[in-house]
Amino acid sequence: MTIEQALRRHPLPRLESRMLLMHAWPGLSHATIVGYPERELAEDIAMVFDALAARRLAGEPMAYLLGVREFYGRDFAVSPAVLIPRPETEHLIEQALSRLDAAQPARVVDLGTGSGIIAVTLALQAPQWRVSAVDLSAEALEVASGNAAALGAQVDFRHGSWFDPLAPDDRFELIVSNPPYIERGDRHLGEGDLRFEPRGALTDEVDGLACLREIAAGAPARLLPAGWLMVEHGYDQGAAVRGLFCAAGLLQVETIRDLAGQDRITIGQKRAD
């Protein structure tokens, strides 16, 4: 079977089928696919490709099939144990880097690190910062620590719930989190990529605000004076999260919109004294 015949066997978008074929055939380039479509596929490669295409047609996300997703210009390994990195989360990185001086030492913790994209990216963008990362999922922490090692980032990973695994006297200039914020019963949980992502990364199984409530309430005791809390949340949760931040006594509370113009990130600062 030729490359062209293999690609035609599955009714997938052309780019997706080419990416899956390149994944099945290490060393195959996009230029070869386009320039030499008459090249023959080895039988074992055709079988791997057919299996990947069948999984894609059944809805499995490309990121899980390829095992990788780009975030902030770097490739992160992903598996079904972690949320697939979203481009919106880059706003958290930009906020962190714009509110804290990357050239000065600072202590940072990423709560619910998943694949480690936030912690690893901050550790690489601001090598002076000491970055910790927490997750309830041991499987996610394995993926995250693999990413830190592969990308050469120093991150202190902790297993447990939110602030629990931190030392009692740990205090931070920055607490950052993209927690589960979809409410139980939201129809999106049964649609698209979300069907394949870990449920514990998506929903708090309550009203969508349970994790955000816990993080906002716990943050002031863990922030240094003038330290920042920054969280990602749903497009319709901006007002509620600002309320949680204000109730926790944080100042300069502000919601930042994503590129689609939707409320996406809320930030707040602890008093300076």
Ligand X SMILES: C[S@@+](CC[C@H](N)C(=O)[O-])C[C@H]1O[C@@H](n2cnc3c(N)ncnc32)[C@H](O)[C@@H]1O
Q: Compute and round to an integer the Cα radius of gyration of the chain.
A: 21
- Cα separation, 43 vs 36, in Å, equals 18
Query: Given the complex with ligand X, which of 100 and 201 has the nearer CB atom?
Result: 201
**Interface positions, 190-219, toward ligand X (CB under 6 A):** 200-201
Pairing of strands 263-269, 251-257: antiparallel
180 belongs to an annotated ligand binding site: yes
Q: Residues binding ligand X: what is the number (CB under 6 A)?
A: 23
Long-range contacts of 215-220 (CB under 8 A, 24+ apart): 215/111, 215/162, 215/175, 215/177, 215/179, 216/241, 216/244, 216/245, 216/247, 216/248, 216/250, 217/244, 217/247, 217/248, 218/162, 218/163, 219/175, 219/248, 219/250, 219/270, 220/248, 220/249, 220/250, 220/270
Contact 45, 25 (CB under 8 A): yes
Alpha-carbon distance of 52 to 12, in angstroms, equals 11
262 binds ligand X (CB under 6 A): no
Interacting residue with ligand X among 106, 140, 212, 265 (CB under 6 A):
140
Q: Measured from the CB atom, is 39 or 184 closer to ligand X?
A: 184
Least separation in angstroms between residue 83's CB and ligand X is 4
Binding segment (CB under 6 A) for ligand X, from list 29-37, 48-56, 62-70, 130-138 = 130-138
Q: Which residue from 77, 118, 120, 230 is in contact with ligand X, where contact means CB under 6 A?
A: 118
Tell how strand 263-269 and strand 223-232 pair up: antiparallel
* Sequence-ordered list of residues with C-beta below 8 angstroms from that of 106, at least 6 positions apart, any chain: 100, 126, 128, 129, 130, 172, 173, 174
- Site membership for ligand X, residue 227 (CB under 6 A): no
179 carries a ligand binding annotation = yes
Q: Which residues contact 5 (CB under 8 A, 6 or more apart)?
A: none
Q: x/- binding map, residues 11-50, to ligand X, per CB under 6 A?
A: ----------------------------------------
Question: Do 216 and 254 meet the contact criterion of CB atoms below 8 Å apart?
Answer: no
Q: Give min distance, CB of 214 to ligand X, in A.
A: 7
Binding part of the chain for ligand X, among 94-102, 145-153, 174-182, 251-259 by CB under 6 A, reads: 174-182
Is 112 known as a binding-site position? yes
User: Does residue number 120 form part of the binding site for ligand X (CB under 6 A)?
Assistant: no
Among 21, 65, 93, 180, binds ligand X (CB under 6 A): 180
114 annotated as ligand-binding: yes
The Cα–Cα gap between 110 and 132 comes to: 6
**Least separation in angstroms between CB 69 and ligand X:** 9
Binding status of residue 241 toward ligand X by CB under 6 A: no
The yes or no reply on residue 85 touching ligand X (CB under 6 A) is yes
**Binding site feature residues for S-adenosyl-L-methionine:** 112-116, 135, 162, 178
- The residues that touch ligand X, with contacts defined as CB under 6 A, are 82-83, 85, 89, 111-115, 117-118, 134-137, 140, 161-162, 178-180, 200-201
**Binding site feature residues for substrate:** 178-181
